[in-house]
């Protein structure tokens, strides 16, 4: 009896320790990356970084103002295209359609989600860049939105499905039709969850590099419109990091730090939306 | 059988043992009178306290069944009937004691100059008592209805006895003390018959869920 | 024994075998209703009348079809996939199965097993029904309607100072009364209640039972309940369901004092199964 107990205790302790180690590795990775970024990029993050244009290779100083604005532009564009489409597709998935249709759409969305981002970049390049004969923020935005749609659709669907059936029936029983029920009860009930999913989705695509490499390309200067090649932080990091100049490397580190900071900020914002209390009972 | 069903069954059994005790008391009280048997009379008087004990036990069982089971339908009807039947049985036991007491008193007095036939009345009442218990055991409304009908015959028989005794008293005032005792006995027997009738009515309620008291069923069709 | 012979029994009558006596025209009537979940037949030819301004209780063991039947009375079962109904259900003589479903559901309100207030304020919960049904004209009338509905559900005094707080701040019993008030706000002619007290404590249950007695003055009520005493307390007539069939429907008194079917008696006395 006691020997069996002590064996159980041993197994218990070993497994606990194993889990502890894995947790440590997971958590420490984030902090190691953060520390590395701050150490290497912190020196170059200054006012100039946010307000100046990049200097030609070889010259010190300069900033990434155009890339920050460009990134915002492209992500905003992707958001404006991707969120509504993903949102409504999610509503369709959760609320309408028969089982076969839902299965097909869900499966397609998951496949789309699993497509390597570089392939999405090539696709946008073929469809937009080749046709319009130049790289553009528009093409970058479309490429990112293609990534955002399945993420948003699936997360919207998940949160809508979490709304208890009793709420739906409560609205239907009062004489609401289906669309009215969705618009006035179900979506508001799932609102915080859906919002959180959207924020996380946008944070996710704002760090993507591959889809932008052959779509919005890059630009050392301010771009003048959506149809112009446009600088973005991820691509800038990529370009600077492979350039043979220490100063550009430092700029890349700084850009990485800024990008990570923005993504972290978005994550924290999403947590705060959730922690303000879920809108659903219990 | 589930535990609560045992409880209803034991309520039923307790009523039956109370009924048989009371039926014996009624019989013995009549025998003590007719056969001038002192022992029977004393036994009736002794048994009365046992009847009272069982009545209290029935009430306890009923109240705890109501609290625990909140009985409905036939369970509810059994519980309601049980309280009423126990009350009637207890009254019958008391009346048997009264008869036994009269019998003891009459034993020390000379007999009446002419014999009064108590046998018909006593037989009728005894068979009503037994019949009401029988109908309860079988939950048989037909038997119970027979008892309701017999009640009129009891009343008639009691009236006959009373008339003859009154005539006797008028003819021979020396018999008044004894004759009055006999009149009282006849009344008590008739009352026992009334209680047997009540039990029969409760049995009909128990078996069929209808109330036949005071002929209400004729007015309000269930 | 002489008195044991059978006697003619002019003074008695047999227990009632006929369906419960009803008002001249029932508010609702189900005729030969059968219902299928896919291939499974959940209801078998149910015919039942609901008298105007009376409370009808539906009782029976779990899975007997009483809730399924109730949920057909406002066609909320239609929202489930792969279901089919046969037969006819009338409201004031008109078949509800081929009328506009939203209008039917406005006229036949429903309260569910668990309180299901919307994640909105108390005020918004009440006003939801009138709003979607276009019953609101002025702001003022909204406030009046909210007060009237909450009063009808005996909730006004408890919530009048926090109308704009979340409905989730209320206790379970209050939430259920809010749901009743929400249903009453659209002036339904029939109110269906699906085990409305199963998640509530005895005091909250008693409040809702009291409420039903006053609501039935303006409304025909159908209540599904697992609580036999509740049916005995609030219902004028009671129907007993078993295995998708209506076994017996009669005056509540008759059902609980002297049911005519053995299945009914076995169930209500706890000897079922």
The three-state (H, E, C) secondary structure of C100-154, written as one string: CHHHHHHHEEEECCCCCCCCCEHHHHHHHHHHHCCCCCCHHHHHHHHHHHHHHCC
Residue A215: the pLDDT is 86
The answer to whether the beta carbons of residues B58 and C239 sit under 8 Å apart is: no
Percent share of chain B, pLDDT over 90 = 76
Asked if C112 and A177 come within 8 Å (Cβ–Cβ), the reply is no
Asked if C133 and A281 come within 8 Å (Cβ–Cβ), the reply is no
CA distances from B197 to A146, B129, B216, C7, C249 (A): 92, 8, 15, 15, 34
User: What distance in Å separates the CA atoms of residue C135 and residue C127, rounded to the nearest whole number?
Assistant: 9
pLDDT tens, position by position, B212-221: 887 654 544 4
Asked if A175 and C74 come within 8 Å (Cβ–Cβ), the reply is no
> Going edge to edge, which strands form the sheet with C83-91?
C40-50, C28-37, C83-91, C94-95
pLDDT tens, position by position, C178-210: 999 999 999 999 999 999 998 888 888 998 999
Q: Which residues of B touch C14 (CB under 8 A)?
A: 208, 222
Q: What tokens does C100 get?
A: 């506009």
Nearest CA in chain A to C183: A174
For residue C196, the SS3 value is coil
- Do the two chains C and A touch, given a threshold of 8 Å on CB pairs and at least 3 pairs? yes
The answer to whether the beta carbons of residues A223 and A235 sit under 8 Å apart is: no
Residue whose tokens read 């009558």: C13
Residues 108-127 of C with CB under 8 A from A: 109-110, 112-114, 116-120
Least confident interval from A42-46, A253-257, B17-21: A42-46
CA distances from C273 to B183, C226, C242, C267 (A): 57, 16, 11, 8
The answer to whether the beta carbons of residues C67 and C57 sit under 8 Å apart is: no
- Average pLDDT (A150-161) is 94
Q: What tokens does B36 get?
A: 């001038």
pLDDT tens, position by position, C6-48: 444 433 444 444 454 544 679 999 999 999 999 999 999 999 9
- Average pLDDT (A60-71) is 85
Residue A42: the pLDDT is 84
Asked if B70 and C258 come within 8 Å (Cβ–Cβ), the reply is no
pLDDT tens, position by position, C215-259: 999 999 999 999 888 999 999 999 999 999 999 999 999 999 989
For the cut 80, the answer to whether the pLDDT of residue A59 exceeds it is no
The answer to whether the beta carbons of residues C224 and C194 sit under 8 Å apart is: yes
Q: Which residues of A touch C113 (CB under 8 A)?
A: 166
Going C22 to C26 to C31 to C35, the CA torsion angle's sign is: negative
Q: Is residue A30 packed enough to be buried (19+ CB in 10 Å), middle (13-18) or exposed (0-12)?
A: exposed
Q: What tokens does B72 get?
A: 């409905």
pLDDT tens, position by position, B141-166: 999 999 999 999 999 999 999 999 99
B10-26 b/e with 16+ CB inside 10 Å = b?
Answer: ebeebbeebbebbbbbb
Q: What tokens does A272 get?
A: 């705060």
Residue C204: the pLDDT is 87
* Chain C: residues touching B (Cβ < 8 Å): 1-7, 9-16, 228-229, 232, 256-259, 264-265, 268-271
Cα C110 off chain centre by: 8
Give the closest-approach CA distance of B49 to chain C in angstroms: 30
Q: Confidence band (pLDDT; 50, 70, 90) for B118?
A: confident
Least confident interval from A19-33, A239-253, C63-77: A239-253
When the pLDDT of each residue in chain B is averaged and rounded to a whole number, the result is 91
For the cut 60, the answer to whether the pLDDT of residue C261 exceeds it is yes
Residue C138: the pLDDT is 66
Q: What is the DSSP string of A119-156?
A: HHHHHHIIIIIHHHTS--HHHHHHHHHHHHHHHHHHHH
User: What distance in Å separates the CA atoms of residue A137 and residue A63, rounded to the nearest whole number?
Assistant: 20
User: What distance in Å separates the CA atoms of residue C85 and residue C74, rounded to the nearest whole number?
Assistant: 12
Neighbour tally for A114: CB within 10 Å: 8
Q: Check CB contact of A173 with chain C, cutoff 8 Å.
A: yes
Give the closest-approach CA distance of A167 to chain C in angstroms: 6
- Average pLDDT (A248-271) is 86
User: What distance in Å separates the CA atoms of residue A208 and residue A214, rounded to the nearest whole number?
Assistant: 13
For the cut 90, the answer to whether the pLDDT of residue C50 exceeds it is yes
User: What distance in Å separates the CA atoms of residue A16 and residue C86, rounded to the nearest whole number?
Assistant: 59
Residue whose tokens read 């924290």: A268
Q: Check CB contact of C179 with chain A, cutoff 8 Å.
A: yes
- Average pLDDT (A116-139) is 90
The answer to whether the beta carbons of residues C116 and A170 sit under 8 Å apart is: yes
- Best probe of the C interface among B1, B7, B120, B145, by most C CBs < 10 A, is B145
- Average pLDDT (A55-71) is 82
- Best probe of the C interface among B3, B134, B222, by most C CBs < 10 A, is B222
User: What distance in Å separates the CA atoms of residue B115 and residue B122, rounded to the nearest whole number?
Assistant: 15
pLDDT tens, position by position, C108-157: 999 999 999 999 999 999 999 999 998 887 666 889 999 999 999 999 99
Report ipTM (2 d.p.).
Answer: 0.85
When the pLDDT of each residue in chain A is averaged and rounded to a whole number, the result is 88
> Going edge to edge, which strands form the sheet with C55-59?
C108-111, C190-194, C220-224, C55-59, C237-242, C245-251
Read off φ and ψ for residue C11, nearest 5 degrees. Answer: -85, 0
C248 vs A102, residue with greater confidence: C248
Least confident interval from A227-236, A247-256, A269-278, C61-70: A269-278
């Amino acid at each position: 009896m006691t020997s069996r107990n002590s064996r159980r205790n041993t197994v218990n302790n070993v497994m606990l320790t194993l889990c502890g180690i894995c947790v440590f590795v997971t958590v420490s990775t984030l902090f190691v990356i953060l520390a590395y970024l701050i150490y290497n990029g912190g020196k170059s993050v200054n006012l100039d970084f946010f307000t100046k244009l990049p200097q030609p290779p070889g010259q010190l100083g300069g900033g990434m103002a155009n890339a920050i604005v460009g990134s915002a532009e492209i992500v905003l564009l992707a958001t404006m295209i991707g969120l509504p489409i993903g949102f409504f597709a999610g509503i369709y998935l959760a609320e309408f359609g028969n089982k076969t249709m839902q299965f097909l759409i869900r499966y397609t969305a998951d496949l789309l989600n699993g497509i390597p981002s570089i392939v999405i970049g090539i696709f946008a390049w073929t469809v937009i860049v080749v046709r319009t004969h130049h790289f553009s923020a528009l093409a970058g935005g479309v490429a990112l939105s293609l990534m955002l749609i399945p993420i948003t659709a699936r997360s919207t669907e998940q949160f809508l499905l979490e709304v208890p059936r009793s709420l739906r029936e409560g609205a239907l029983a009062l004489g609401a039709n289906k669309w009215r029920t969705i618009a006035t009860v179900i979506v508001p009930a799932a609102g915080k969850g859906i919002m959180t999913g959207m924020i996380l989705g946008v944070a996710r695509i704002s760090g993507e590099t591959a889809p932008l490499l052959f779509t919005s390309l890059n630009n050392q200067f301010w771009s003048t419109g959506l149809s112009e090649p446009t600088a973005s932080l991820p691509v800038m990091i990529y370009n600077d990091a492979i350039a043979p100049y220490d100063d550009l490397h430092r700029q890349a580190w700084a850009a990485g730090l800024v990008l990570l900071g923005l993504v972290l900020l978005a994550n924290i914002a999403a947590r705060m939306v959730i922690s303000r209390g879920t809108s659903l009972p219990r | 059988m589930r535990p609560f069903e045992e409880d209803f069954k034991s309520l039923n059994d307790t009523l039956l043992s109370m009924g048989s005790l009371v039926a014996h008391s009624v019989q013995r009280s009549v025998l003590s009178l007719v056969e001038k048997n002192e022992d029977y009379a004393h036994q009736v008087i002794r048994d009365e306290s046992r009847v009272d004990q069982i009545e209290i036990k029935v009430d306890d069982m009923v109240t705890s069944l109501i609290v625990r089971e909140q009985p409905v339908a036939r369970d509810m009807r059994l519980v309601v009937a049980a309280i009423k039947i126990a009350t009637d049985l207890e009254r019958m036991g008391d009346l048997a004691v009264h008869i036994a007491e009269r019998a003891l008193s009459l034993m020390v007095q000379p007999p009446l100059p002419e014999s009064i036939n108590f046998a018909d009345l006593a037989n009728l009442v005894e068979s009503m008592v037994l019949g009401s218990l029988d109908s309860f055991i079988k939950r048989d409304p037909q038997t119970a209805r027979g008892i309701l009908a017999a009640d009129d015959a009891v009343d008639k028989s009691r009236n006959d006895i009373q008339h003859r005794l009154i005539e006797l008293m008028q003819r021979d005032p020396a018999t008044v003390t004894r004759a009055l005792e006999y009149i009282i006995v006849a009344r008590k027997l008739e009352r026992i018959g009334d209680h047997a009738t009540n039990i029969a009515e409760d049995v009909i309620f128990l078996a069929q869920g209808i109330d036949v008291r005071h002929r209400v069923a004729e007015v309000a069709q269930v | 024994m002489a008195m044991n012979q059978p006697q003619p029994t002019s003074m008695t009558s047999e227990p009632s075998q006929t369906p419960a006596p009803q008002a001249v025209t029932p508010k609702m009537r189900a005729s030969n209703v059968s219902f299928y979940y896919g291939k499974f037949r959940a209801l078998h030819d149910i015919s039942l009348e609901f008298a105007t301004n009376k409370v009808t209780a539906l009782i029976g063991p779990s899975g007997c079809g009483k809730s399924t039947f109730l949920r057909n009375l406002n066609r909320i079962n239609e929202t489930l996939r792969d279901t089919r109904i046969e037969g006819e259900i009338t409201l004031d003589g008109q078949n509800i199965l081929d009328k506009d479903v939203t209008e039917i559901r406005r006229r036949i309100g429903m309260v569910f097993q668990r309180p299901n207030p919307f994640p909105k304020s108390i005020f918004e919960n009440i006003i939801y029904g009138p709003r979607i049904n276009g019953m609101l004209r002025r702001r003022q009338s909204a406030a009046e309607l909210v007060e009237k509905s909450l009063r009808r559900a005996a909730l006004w005094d408890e919530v009048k100072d926090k109308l704009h707080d979340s409905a989730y701040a209320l206790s379970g019993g209050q939430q259920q009364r809010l749901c009743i008030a929400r249903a009453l706000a659209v002036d339904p002619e029939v109110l269906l209640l699906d085990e409305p007290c199963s998640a509530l404590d005895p005091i909250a249950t008693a409040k809702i039972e009291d409420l039903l007695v006053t609501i039935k003055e303006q409304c025909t009520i159908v209540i599904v309940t697992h609580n036999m005493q509740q049916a005995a307390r609030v219902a004028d007539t009671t129907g007993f369901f078993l295995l998708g069939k209506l076994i017996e429907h009669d005056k509540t008194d008759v059902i609980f004092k002297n049911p005519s079917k053995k299945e009914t008696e076995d169930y209500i006395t706890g000897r079922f199964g």
